[in-house]
Amino acid sequence: MTTLRQRLTFWYTGALGATILVFGASLYLDRRVSSLREIDQRLSLEAELSAGWLTESRRVVERLIVPDPLGIPTLDPAIAAYFEAFRDYLVIVSPTGQLLFLSVQARALPPAAIDSLLALVQPPVPSFEGTATISPQLPAVRYLIQPVPAAAGQIGVVLVAAATNSVLFGPSALLRSMVVSLPILLLGSILLGFWLAGTALKPLDAMVAELEAIADGRSLHRRLPVPAGADETRRLALAANRTFGRLEDSFSALYRFTADASHELKTPLMVLRAGVERTLTNPKTPPENLEALDASLAEINRMSELVENLLMLARADEGRAPLVVTECDLRDLLAEAADTAGILAEDKGITVTTTMPEQPVHLPVDRARFSQMLLNLVTNAIKYTPEAGEVLLELADAGDDVTILVRDTGRGIAPGDLPHIFDRFWRSDPARSRVGQPTGTGLGLAITKWIAEAHGGEITVQSRPGRGSIFTVRLPRGTERIVESGE
């Protein structure tokens, strides 16, 4: 029962099944009562007719009873002929309870059953009607006993009886047909219910697909299509759209604030840096102050980088960081990054190796942003690799996509940290890195990821602590590669 559709089908079928059961049970009970009444009516009519015929015959002839060829007294065959067409059990006995006549049906019964029928009419007759079991193999019978007073002395009573299942479409036939039709009905209702639920939920399904597309976070400006009419789906769409509107407002306020704040911080930082630099280069500055000024300059530089990065991410969030795309040979960009890396790596004695295809690797990219991405990865590789390590840059063209690998033999990243390294401001060991050697803002990889994704690509990382890390940027070649290419 995972989907709403399945649940609705289940409940629908359950409700229908219960209804059919209740309806069928009441139909069955009613049929049982009414079929008995039908039999009783038939029997009383037959008893009436039989007694009437005997009374009538007695009026015409003196002797109703004659001896048969064996000398046993029986009903005169001329009179008995009338009863030959009788459909139910008919027993006629003398006042002493001696058998005088059996109808065709009764004659066909097994001897034990005939005895049971006879027992019912032995004087004194216990009751005039009822239900009796005459044989364990046969269904119970309803019977009716009628005296024939006009033929007193010769005829005692007539007994008419019929099996309780002898009515047309009786309760057992009804039960049988219900047992046969119930599974077919239920199967039909499952199919119908499944189809109905699917049809009813279709607008909801479409809405969920649309919602999932919006929920990726960068599409808050999108809205659900509002269905016509006044049903629940329309209200849902309106409510969701209102929520998106509010979310979009607050997100843009947040982006706006970050962008404005970083923008406003840029100028004072520039003034500050110029001031410190001037003081540093001023020969009149007392030498004991130089160290403090140096530290201030480093902090100012770090802050400028932070503000620059923040501004860029805020603009990207706002969708106001269009890519300026030109067709580039990625080998050139990689070579530039490798050059810069070579200079940075020199101090630490790290070797930087580059592997590239012979042929040009042309791809439409934003040159400046792409270079920034490569530089971020390369500076990280150098920053987090101890002296005499190795950094490898690799470009591979597989036709459908282009892959850039930045591999280092550095300290690596703990498995628990891997899911966080692309988060904003996330740094593996902030306390140490602030005071110690590797400085940074924790925004580099967040920006790198944004640049890769803005180019329609993706970035992944593999790392083993102590063994090094591999950052892989995969860029597919395709028509819709550039997500936002200018506005």
Ligand X SMILES: Nc1ncnc2c1ncn2[C@@H]1O[C@H](COP(=O)(O)OP(=O)(O)O)[C@@H](O)[C@H]1O
Among 444, 456, 457, 468, which residue interacts with Mg ion (rule: CB under 5 A)?
444
Residue 10 CB, shortest distance to Mg ion, in Å, is 55
457 near ligand X, judged by CB under 6 A: no
411 near ligand X, judged by CB under 6 A: yes
Q: How far is the C-alpha of 86 from the C-alpha of 187, rounded, in Å?
A: 46
Question: Strand order in 141-147's β-sheet?
Answer: 99-102, 89-93, 157-163, 141-147, 129-132
Q: Which does 389 bind (CB under 5 to 8 A by kind): Mg ion, ligand X, none?
A: none
User: In 3-state terms, what secondary structure has residue 328?
Assistant: strand
Q: How far is the C-alpha of 180 from the C-alpha of 186, rounded, in Å?
A: 11
| Nearer to ligand X (CB atom), residue 233 or residue 376 | 376
Residue 259 CB, shortest distance to ligand X, in Å, is 20
Among 162, 307, 445, 473, which residue interacts with ligand X (rule: CB under 6 A)?
445
301 near ligand X, judged by CB under 6 A: no
- CA 231 to chain CA centroid, nearest Å: 22
Residue 324 CB, shortest distance to ligand X, in Å, is 24
Q: Are strands 73-75 and 65-67 parallel, antiparallel or unpaired?
A: antiparallel
| Nearer to ligand X (CB atom), residue 119 or residue 343 | 343
Q: How far is the C-alpha of 421 from the C-alpha of 446, rounded, in Å?
A: 8
Q: Which does 171 bind (CB under 5 to 8 A by kind): ligand X, Mg ion, none?
A: none
Q: How far is the C-alpha of 401 from the C-alpha of 476, rounded, in Å?
A: 4
Q: Which does 456 bind (CB under 5 to 8 A by kind): Mg ion, ligand X, none?
A: none
At 187, give phi and psi (nearest 5°): -60, -45
290 CB contacts (<8 Å, ≥6 apart)? Answer: 280
Among 156, 193, 389, 440, which residue interacts with ligand X (rule: CB under 6 A)?
440
Cis amide prior to 124 (ω within 30 degrees): yes
Residue 344 CB, shortest distance to Mg ion, in Å, is 12
Choose among 339, 334, 340, 310: nearest CA to 450.
310
Site for ligand X in 368-397 (CB under 6 A): 376, 380-381, 384
Residue 261 CB, shortest distance to Mg ion, in Å, is 22
Cβ–Cβ < 8 Å for 101, 85: no
Residue 424 CB, shortest distance to ligand X, in Å, is 8
Residue 215 CB, shortest distance to ligand X, in Å, is 25
325 near ligand X, judged by CB under 6 A: no
**Which of these ranges, 51-59, 139-147, 343-351, 441-449, lies near ligand X under the rule CB under 6 A?**
441-449
User: In 3-state terms, what secondary structure has residue 416?
Assistant: coil
Taking CB under 5 A as the rule, which mask of x and - marks residues 366-395 in contact with Mg ion? Answer: --------------x---------------
- CA 407 to chain CA centroid, nearest Å: 43
Interface with ligand X (CB under 6 A) = 376, 380-381, 384, 408, 410-413, 421, 426-428, 440-446, 469
